[in-house]
């Protein structure tokens, strides 16, 4: 758009770009079936409405972004899709300093972590999520159990920090299991009481010993009134401005290699509110990256 520099100006297929955006339109295995697989395409269309200039810092975003397209996941189960996602993430992190992985449902988080390769004892996971994602895996993988599945893969709880857990949206057993594993648990009430900066500092402190980090931004952590297109969202969730601040702060951490965005179900919002919020997440991540 003439006279309106926007995020799409930064996107190309340049393989040498510092940042990559990679679509993972996975819809299979959702606890609440819906249209999460439609999110990557809508995100790209909405980015032209997100400007590059941050009036609060007086800086314009300049970082090149490589569009690596969408991973082909149509008709695949989570079990079938996971190796494909892990392989695509591995290829992206080998070429770029930061990969923005756009889901799709929350089941993409596990292969995002596994895509880093190597010893899981050296990998950390920080989740911005209303849920523990600690459902049982005995009936298979779902978007409700990537954290439990990763613990069963060998990811230590000492390497997992969970921020934004919502009241009346989880079970006592999940909470108990997360604590027993050694996960850091920061409720949404603690975020409101102490501030988002303190919550993110606690999370980063918990994974200080890790060499590489994956950030899971499950969009249902945001208050449902501010992001209607999250099937798992609840009233009383995280304020959108706190979510943006968290994404920017985490992207500024050099050990962060992958940040995912999950559980956005576009058909649930007949307005453009959710799409604009998700698209701004990209700008916040780039702003954070430029602060490294």
Say if CB 99 and CB 257 are below 8 A apart. yes
- Tell me the fold of 7-290: 3.40.800
**pLDDT of 258 higher than 70:** yes
Beta-strand pair 53-54/59-60: antiparallel
**pLDDT of 2 higher than 70:** no
**pLDDT of 285 higher than 80:** yes
- What's 67-119 look like in SS3? EEEECCCCCCCHHHHHHHHHHHHHHHHHHCCEEEEEECCHHHHHHHHHCCCCC
Per the prediction, the chain carries an average pLDDT of: 97
Query: Residue 177: which pLDDT band, with cuts at 50, 70 and 90?
Result: very high
pLDDT of residue 4: 86
Instruction: Output the CA torsion 100→214→177→106 (10° steps).
Output: 10
Say if CB 114 and CB 202 are below 8 A apart. no
> How many whole angstroms separate alpha carbon 177 and alpha carbon 174?
5
Mind listing the pLDDT tens digit for each residue in 67-94? 999 999 999 999 999 999 999 999 999 9
Mind listing the pLDDT tens digit for each residue in 131-159? 999 999 999 999 999 999 999 999 999 99
pLDDT of residue 33: 84
Mind listing the pLDDT tens digit for each residue in 28-62? 989 888 999 999 999 999 999 999 999 999 999 99
> How many whole angstroms separate alpha carbon 179 and alpha carbon 197?
22
**pLDDT of 1 higher than 60:** no
* pTM flag (> 0.75): yes
pLDDT of residue 141: 97
């Amino acid at each position: 758009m003439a006279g309106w520099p926007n995020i799409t100006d930064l996107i190309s297929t340049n393989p040498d770009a510092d940042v990559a955006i990679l679509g993972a339109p996975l819809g299979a295995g959702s606890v609440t079936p819906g249209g999460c697989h439609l999110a990557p395409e809508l995100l790209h269309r909405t980015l032209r409405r997100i400007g590059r200039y941050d009036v609060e810092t007086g800086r314009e975003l300049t970082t090149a972004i490589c569009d690596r397209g969408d991973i082909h996941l149509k008709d695949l189960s989570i079990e079938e899709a996971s190796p494909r996602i892990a392989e695509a993430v591995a290829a992206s992190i080998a070429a770029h300093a930061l990969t923005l992985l756009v889901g799709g449902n929350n089941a993409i988080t596990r292969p995002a972590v596994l895509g880093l390769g190597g010893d899981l004892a050296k990998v950390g996971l920080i989740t911005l999520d209303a849920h523990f994602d600690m459902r049982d895996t005995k009936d298979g993988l779902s978007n409700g159990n990537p954290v439990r599945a990763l613990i069963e893969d060998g990811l230590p709880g000492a390497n997992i920090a969970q921020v934004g857990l919502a009241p009346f949206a989880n079970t006592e057993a999940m909470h108990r299991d997360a604590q027993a594993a050694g996960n850091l648990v920061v409720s949404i009430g603690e975020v409101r009481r102490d501030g988002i900066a303190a919550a993110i500092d606690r999370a980063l402190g918990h994974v200080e010993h890790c060499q590489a980090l994956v950030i899971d931004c499950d969009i249902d952590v945001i208050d449902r009134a501010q992001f209607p297109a999250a099937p798992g969202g609840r009233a009383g969730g995280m304020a959108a401005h706190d979510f943006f601040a968290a994404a920017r702060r985490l992207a500024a951490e050099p050990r962060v290699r992958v940040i995912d965005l999950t559980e956005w179900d576009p058909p649930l919002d007949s307005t453009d509110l959710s799409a604009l919020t998700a698209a701004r997440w990209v700008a916040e991540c780039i702003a954070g990256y430029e602060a490294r």
